């Protein structure tokens, strides 16, 4: 066989050696599609017996008698007389390039792409694994950030809840201070009016009885003059303690100012209120306050009034009970007077 490439100057022996050393093989067909030459590399790539190459090279076996692998190559060539194609047989992938030869035959170069495909697959797998690792790390970072944010938000929520509780306790304490008389511990005037109004409205809705007492320490100025303001303060605190110890658990004691006090009696008719007021009066009279080495004797005058069906404001009861209180004072003090229309001047 003469040199295939006259310009380069390769001989047949030199070209065959070069091709057989590579991972591809050479197939030469004549114009009748008979195999003129198949090198050992091609025989090895296709997994054919080594004798097939020699037989093809020397005898030019016809197309119908070719081994199956050669027949597949030739069918691919017949479909596309020029160009390249990737075919798979024998569990391998091959790149087949072909072109017309000078004598109208066909030259085919068949390269084994199995290793390239394997490398590509491994590269693709490694890229996927790298992307998965990156995605996993990213998701883990995001999960860690979300967990940190959630923990921070939870801490902030707990701190906020604690602050709200503290503010509520402070507000409750401030309300208690605002509604409590600092000297005696009784309800302040504002606190008594607020609680008393709610008690009145509740009694009206439930159609229950409610009564109110107004009381005043008799001759309180004399106590201050004799024992001083400190002695007067002791007398006021003693009076409140006496009222609380004598009153029911539901009764509300308030200091309206100076030595003047009021008591709300829920669910109490006027008759019951009068009896309770009389018990208060006797208890105060028999329980003098102790100030240093002196005993401070006290008496109180008490006015009594009961809620009427049309009463919508606590001031109405206070006004009537106050009128009864002054009637008790005019009558000689240290006594209980129930409000009557004629008692008001």
Mention the CATH class of domain 12-112: alpha beta
- Tens digit of pLDDT for each residue in 252-263? 999 999 999 999
- Tens digit of pLDDT for each residue in 7-47? 444 455 544 554 444 467 777 777 777 777 777 777 777 76
Is 1's pLDDT higher than 50? no
Residues, the chain:
345
- pLDDT bin (cut points 50, 70, 90) of residue 241 is very high
- Tens digit of pLDDT for each residue in 179-224? 889 899 999 999 999 999 999 999 999 999 999 999 999 999 999 9
Catalytic positions, written as ranges = 259
- Write down the pLDDT at residue 165: 84
Domains 12-112 and 189-343 share a fold: no
- pLDDT bin (cut points 50, 70, 90) of residue 171 is confident
- Tens digit of pLDDT for each residue in 264-285? 999 999 999 999 999 999 999 9
Neighbours of 116 (CB within 10 A): 13
- Write down the pLDDT at residue 220: 94
Residue 251 backbone phi and psi in degrees, to 5: -75, 145
Tell me what the mean pLDDT of segment 138-156 comes to.
84
Whether this model's pTM surpasses 0.85: no
Q: Identify the CATH homologous superfamily for domain 189-343.
A: Reverse transcriptase/Diguanylate cyclase domain (3.30.70.270)
Which strand ranges, in their side-by-side order, compose the sheet holding 92-100? 35-38, 24-29, 106-112, 92-100, 83-89
Q: What is the DSSP letter of 175?
A: H
**% of the chain beyond a pLDDT of 70:** 73
Show me where the domains of the chain are located: 12-112, 120-178, 189-343
The answer to whether 27 and 41 have CB atoms below 8 angstroms apart is no
């Amino acid at each position: 066989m003469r040199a295939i490439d006259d310009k380069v100057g390769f001989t047949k022996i030199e070209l065959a050696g070069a091709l057989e050393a590579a991972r591809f093989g050479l197939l030469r067909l004549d114009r009748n599609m008979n195999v003129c030459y198949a090198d050992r590399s091609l025989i090895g790539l296709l997994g054919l017996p080594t004798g097939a190459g020699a037989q093809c090279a020397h005898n030019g076996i016809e197309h119908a008698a070719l081994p199956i692998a050669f027949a597949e190559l030739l069918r691919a060539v017949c479909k596309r007389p020029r160009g390249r194609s990737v075919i798979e047989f024998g569990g391998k992938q091959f790149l087949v390039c072909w072109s017309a030869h000078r004598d109208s035959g066909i030259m085919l170069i068949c390269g084994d792409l199995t290793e390239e495909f394997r490398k590509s697959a491994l590269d693709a797998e490694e890229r996927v694994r790298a992307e998965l690792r990156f995605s996993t790390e990213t998701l883990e970072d995001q999960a860690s950030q979300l967990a940190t944010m959630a923990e921070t938000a939870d801490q902030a929520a707990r701190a906020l809840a604690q602050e709200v509780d503290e503010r509520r306790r402070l507000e409750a304490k401030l309300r208690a201070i605002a509604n409590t008389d600092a000297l005696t511990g009784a309800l302040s005037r504002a606190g008594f009016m607020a609680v008393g109004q709610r008690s009145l409205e509740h009694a009206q809705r439930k159609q229950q009885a409610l009564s109110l007492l107004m009381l005043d320490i008799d001759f309180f100025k004399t106590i201050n003059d004799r024992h001083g303001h400190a002695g007067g303060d002791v007398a006021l605190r003693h009076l409140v303690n006496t009222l609380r110890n004598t009153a029911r658990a539901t009764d509300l004691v308030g200091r309206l100012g100076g030595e003047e006090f009021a008591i709300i009696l829920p669910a109490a008719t006027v008759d019951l209120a009068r009896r309770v007021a009389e018990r208060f009066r006797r208890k105060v009279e028999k329980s003098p306050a102790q100030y240093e080495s002196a005993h401070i004797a006290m008496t109180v005058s008490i006015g009594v009034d009961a809620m009427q069906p049309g009463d919508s404001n606590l001031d109405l009861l206070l006004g009537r009970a106050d009128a009864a209180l002054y009637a008790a004072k005019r009558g000689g003090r240290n006594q209980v007077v129930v409000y009557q229309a004629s008692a008001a001047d």
